[in-house]
Structure 1
Amino acid sequence: MLVNTFRRMKWMLRHGKGGRPLRELPWIKGKLYVNQGGTLRVGNRVRFVGKPWASQLTVEKGAVLEIGDRTFINAGVGIASRNRVTIGRDVKIGPRTSILDSMYHQLDASDSPGGSKPVVIGDNVWIGTRCTILPGVTIGDNAVVAAGSLVNKDVPRNALVAGTPARVIRELDIPEGWIRE
């Protein structure tokens, strides 16, 4: 389903599976593809950009995708949930980033499909351009994931991580309750 108007998004969230009334509608610029078989919950004042690349949310049957208030999802972002993906409040996600809770494929006939493990992204997290967040990862509050990083292990709160695979570069000094706007 292509969602490209406030009215359509509002209807989908209020009447679709898992929808709840919103005080303030999401802001959508460009194209946003939503494949919803499971539960999709989007908070207030969430912003989606779908220009120059469309963004995509996929929630398979029985899965849950939750996006917290005031989160910003940039162009070309793909979020796929086969189990559960939880994104906190005030999160900024850079362009062309992928967040997956399952590997969705087999390497050969003897492999079983990739296991699905929940992904949790805390509040006030900044994820740079072209990052990949793999199944089973938890990113703590106030963390920063540098551009081009592959996150395959948990990220502690108040940490800057970078690289492939991502590793802690340094701790950040962020006061409790401070939110970037």
Structure 2
Amino acid sequence: MIRFGKGGHSLRELPWIKGKLYVNKSGTIRIGKRVRFVGKPWATQLTVETGAVLEIGDNTFINAGVGIAARHRVTIGANVKIGPRTSILDSTYHQLDVNDDPGSSKPIVIRNNVWIGTRCTILPGVTIGENSVVAAGSIVNKDVPKNVLVAGIPAKIIRELEIPEGWIRQ
């Protein structure tokens, strides 16, 4: 099932798609109002397995080549910007040895007003706090507090950001 917004919305509030968007869906996808997908020059892909949930909040922008895979749950807030060729995966989808659980997954939560740069990787179990920025090329393997810039492999806090109350990146 794919749901758009909370009902009673105009055509202007429906998702906007430019280029290719591949959707591999057995679970549930909920897409907020005015969500924009770019699938050009690289296709964007959403994969949601049986019983999993992918939620994308209002006014979110998902750029070309982004891959989002939910084996359990991926929640993306409102006013989020996701740069090209970023991967958001709530599961490793494989075992490294016989002792690993092949089905393990941990939910990902990306709060409101987050900006994720080009070629980032968001790993299972991560929460990114509101108003935070993930610099290009970063690999996020642990929680990010609100109002910070993180960068690197693995991502570390570079500095705190001054975000006035009610300020929204557009």
TM-score, with length taken from structure 2: 0.94
**Aligned counterpart, 2:38:** 49
1:53-83 deviation line (CA, Å, top 9, x unaligned): 0000001000000000000000000000000
**Aligned equivalent of 2:152:** 163
SS at match of 1:19: strand
Q: Which amino acid aligns with 1:113?
A: P
| C-alpha distance in structure 2 between counterparts of 1:62 and 1:88, whole Å | 20
> 3-state DSSP class of the match of 2:164?
coil
Aligned length: 165
Range 98-107 or range 88-97, more displaced: 98-107
Question: Greater shift after overlay, 148-157 or 22-31?
Answer: 22-31
What is the CA–CA distance in structure 1 between the aligned matches of 2:77 and 2:21, rounded to whole Å?
A: 20
Asked whether the equivalents of residues 145 and 161 of structure 1 are also in contact (C-alpha less than 8 Å), the reply is yes
After TM superposition, list the pairs within 5 Å mapping 1:2-151 onto structure 2. 17-20=1-4, 21=7, 23=9, 24-113=13-102, 115-151=104-140
Task: For residue 110 of structure 1, report the CA deviation from its aligned partner.
Answer: 4.8
1:22 and 1:44 in contact (8 A); partners too? no
Contact 1:119–1:135, Cα closer than 8 Å, also in 2: yes
Q: What is the aligned-residue identity percentage?
A: 78
Name the residue aligned to 1:180. 169
The alpha carbon displacement at 1:18 in A equals 4.9
Give the distance between the partners of 1:27 and 1:124, measured in 2 at CA. 19
Contact 1:53 1:76 in 2 (8 A): yes
How far apart, in 2, do the equivalents of 1:22 and 1:94 lie? Answer: 30
In structure 2, what residue type is equivalent to 1:171? E
Name the CA distance, whole Å, in 2 between partners of 1:47 and 1:22: 19
Question: What secondary structure, in the 3-state scheme, does the structure 1 residue paired with 2:3 have?
Answer: coil
**Which amino acid is the alignment partner of residue 65 of structure 2?**
G
Q: How large is the Cα RMSD of the aligned pairs?
A: 1.2
Shift of 1:107: 2.0
Deviation at 1:22?
6.2
Runs (4 or more) in structure 1 with deviation over 4 Å come to none
Q: Output the CA distance in 2 between the equivalents of 1:126 and 1:19.
A: 24
